[in-house]
Amino acid sequence: MVGGWLDLAVLERAEERDRVVEAVHSWYGRAVDRDGLLAAMDRLVATRWWARPSTVSRGALAGLKDATSQLIGRFAGAAESATRERTGAGR
Distance of alpha carbon 46 from the chain centroid? 11
41, 61: one domain: no
pLDDT in tens, the chain (91 residues): 667 677 777 788 889 889 988 999 999 888 888 999 999 888 888 887 776 666 677 887 788 888 889 889 999 999 999 999 999 988 7
User: Which residue segment(s) compose the domain that 61 sits in?
Assistant: 52-91
Q: Which residues of 47-84 are buried (b: 16+ CB within 10 A; e: fewer)?
A: eeebbebeeeeeebeebbeebeebeeeeeeeeeeeeee
Tell me the per-residue pLDDT of 9-32, one tens digit each, with 9 for 90 and over.
778 888 988 998 899 999 988 888
pLDDT at 87: 93
Provide the number of structural domains found in the chain.
2
Residues 4 and 39 in one domain: yes
Same-domain check for residues 62 and 89: yes
Res 31: pLDDT: 85
87 and 58 co-located in one domain: yes
**Does residue 2 share a domain with residue 37?**
yes
